[in-house]
Amino acid sequence: MSYIWILFFSILIVLVFASFFIVKQQTIAVVERFGKFTRDYGAGINMKIPFIDRVAGRVSLRIQQLDVIVETKTKDDVFVHLKISVQFQIQREHVYNAFYKLQNPHEQITAFIFDVVRAEVPKMILDDVFVKKEEIALAIQRELKEAMLNYGYDIVKALVTDIDPDQKVKIAMNRINAAEREKVAAQHEGDAQRILIIERAKAEAESKRLQGLGIADQRREIARGLEDSVDVLNNVGINSQEASALIVVTQHYDTLQSVGEATNSNLILLPNSPQAGSDMLNNMIASFAASNQIGEQMKKDNAAKGIVNKKTTREGPKEPPKTDFDY
């Protein structure tokens, strides 16, 4: 009798465990009765008729992602691999269609992706594929959404995550990019060099202008100094010709002294002797006397011809400076 009760309680426990089942969050359990769909159950603990009803399968309501790599050819005959990522989700109210109408949904989605990509990419050149990848993704999403909606699948997002052309094409593209960058760098370098040359020329022109002003001021001051020296010598009884000769001789010896004092100067050979200064002075005085005689003769000739010097008429004739020949 006790064995019967033990058997009874054992069968009862089995029936209880067979009647209840648990469904996880964001999951739907599809229950069939004798092979026919009965209903679907949501998350939590649920009850079914033991040995009559069975859980045929479970469907996830989470967003899933499918990655597909498609090889196709562009308009400019370049073979390229595109990695397409499709995010999809089963709609709660269409669980029946998603479970029973499609044998393998991933293969179905992959087929649609291949069809759309190989219809869109051959219309573009390789550069446009990189630029218009968003358009390709939108075309995939639009076509998939329309096709998979009848099966209970909602296409959340389609992404073109990678574009990989042939290795030789990538090398060529990198070379083109490098050449363009070198071209731009050369242009910038040329512009910088041109600006540098212009600024250097401007600086050199300004330097020459300032040097010219300095030389002009220097010569002006030298002339004033010579004029003052001649006046001082005239005051002590030395006439202008002798004073000029004396100044020239003094500058001659100052030049020789400066050349000798320079440590890095080159060797300069000049004719020089004890009587060189006296000869130079006599030659200068003689040349000044000759120039005065020529000037007086020209004045007499002009007077005979009736040509009057404007300066002489305005200020009156001046006595010509005396020379050594006048004493």
Residues linked to residue 157 through DSSP beta bridges, in sequence order? 87
Q: Which DSSP string corresponds to 236-248?
A: TT--HHHHHHHHH
pLDDT at 89: 93
Structure confidence at residue 281 (pLDDT):
63
pTM, rounded to two decimals? 0.51
Helix 105-120 crosses helix 133-148 at what angle (to 10 degrees)? 140
Give burial (CB, 10 Å; 0-12/13-18/19+) of 41: buried
Residue type at position 136:
I
Q: Where are the beta strands (DSSP E) in 166-214?
A: none
State whether residue 317 is helix, strand or coil: coil
User: Residue for token digits 């002590």?
Assistant: 236
In tens digits, what is the pLDDT along the chain, a chain of 327 residues? 577 777 777 777 877 777 888 899 999 999 998 889 988 998 988 888 888 888 889 999 999 999 999 999 999 888 899 999 999 999 988 899 889 888 888 998 999 999 999 999 999 998 899 899 999 999 999 999 988 888 889 999 999 999 988 888 878 878 887 888 888 888 888 888 889 899 888 888 888 888 888 888 877 877 777 677 777 767 766 666 666 666 666 776 677 667 666 656 666 555 555 566 566 667 766 776 777 778 787 878 778 877 655 444 444 444 444 444 343
Nearest partner of 74 among 119, 11, 9, 107, judged by Cα: 119
Q: What single DSSP character describes residue 73? A: E
Does the domain made of 64-165 have the CATH classification 3.20.20.140?
no
Residues 6 or more apart from 296 whose CB is under 8 A from it? 320
Tokens in use for 115?
């069809």
CA–CA separation, 315 vs 318, rounded Å?
A: 8
CA atoms within a 13 Å half-sphere pointing along the CA-CB vector of 212: 6
Residue pair 109/148 in contact (Cβ under 8 Å)? The answer is yes
* Helices vs strands, H then E, count in the chain: 9, 8
pLDDT of 65 reads: 93
Euclidean distance between the first and the last CA atom of the chain, given in angstroms as a whole number: 181
Give CA–CA dist 236/71, Å, rounded.
112
Tokens 């030395």 belong to 238
What local confidence, expressed as pLDDT, does residue 242 receive? Answer: 66
Domain with CATH 3.30.479.30 in the chain: 64-165
Distances (CA, A) of 119 to 43, 68, 85, 128, 137: 42, 16, 17, 15, 13
Q: How far apart are CA 196 and CA 203, in angstroms?
A: 10
